[in-house]
Amino acid sequence: MFERKYWFLAIFLAVALLPRAASAMHIMEGFLPPGWSIAWVLLTIPFLLAGFFSIKKIVQEQPRMIMILAMACAFAFVLSALKLPSVTGSCSHPTGLGLGTILFGPMAMTVVAFVVLFFQALLLAHGGLTTLGANTFSMGVIGPLVAFTAYLLVKKARGPQWLAVFLAAALGNLATYVTTAVQLALAFPSEIGGFAASFTKFASIFALTQVPLAISEGILTILIFNALVAYGANELKGLKVIWKEG
């Protein structure tokens, strides 16, 4: 019964949030110079390896968690495939990795992000294979690390869990786009002002839509997390993500 409820929840999310167009904002195919594409792949590989071992350990110790992991992966795939147009002419999207980060930790989400981005590049023309390393690093490494840090800080302070969930999702989202702005600024420094000027330009473009989007993702993640608590509290306690609020 527990697994069936999670499948229903995942299907509901997929139907309710299914994107209408295939051009969400990842760094597109062939956009980065080859040197930077290779560099981001090399930086991401250690985190991918750590993520594989993390997932292997979770599945071996708690086999039933594979269903929740699959749901977290589906949640990230659907949300990060959304296209939300920006007034500046660019596009933004949620990442959907805050929920999985809370449940399974940041390393596991590197693998989830890689899988999500790989299939989006192949099936939806989001991002690209040459920029897969850069997109995975921003969305699957830095975003989850920031999300997990925010979650742990609120937990350590014995603050309300809803706040921890909200900050994890929202700040993880924002960190992804700050990292993307850094990646673009490094690859394309401005002729006047260099990296700093270029970063300011890219970050400003993203901020117009990404700040309200991050807030929305935080609220949605709270709702989904509360649903998981309602239907699978015992499993979540096994993952040690529920605490008594002080």
pLDDT tens for residues 38-86?
A: 999 999 999 999 999 999 998 888 888 888 888 888 888 888 877 665 5
Which sequence spans correspond to the domains of the chain?
Answer: 32-238
Give the predicted TM-score (pTM) of the model: 0.84
Residue 7 pLDDT exceeds 70: no
Average pLDDT score over the chain: 82
Do residues 101 and 168 make contact, with C-beta atoms less than 8 angstroms apart? yes
Using the 8-state DSSP alphabet, how is residue 27 labeled? P
Lookup result for tokens 């600024």: 185
The structure tokens listed for 245 are 């609020």
**Residue 244 pLDDT:** 64
**Residue 84 pLDDT:** 65
DSSP string, 160-228: -HHHHHHHHHHHHHHHHHHHHHHHHHHHS-BTTTHHHHHHHHHHHHHHHHHHHHHHHHHHHHHHHHHHH
**Residue 25 pLDDT:** 53
Closest C-alpha among 233, 215, 183 to residue 26: 183
**Residue 211 pLDDT:** 86
Q: How many CB atoms lie within 10 A of CB 231?
A: 16
CATH 1.10.1760.20 fits 32-238, yes or no: yes
How sure is the predictor about 132, in pLDDT bands with cuts at 50, 70 and 90?
Answer: very high
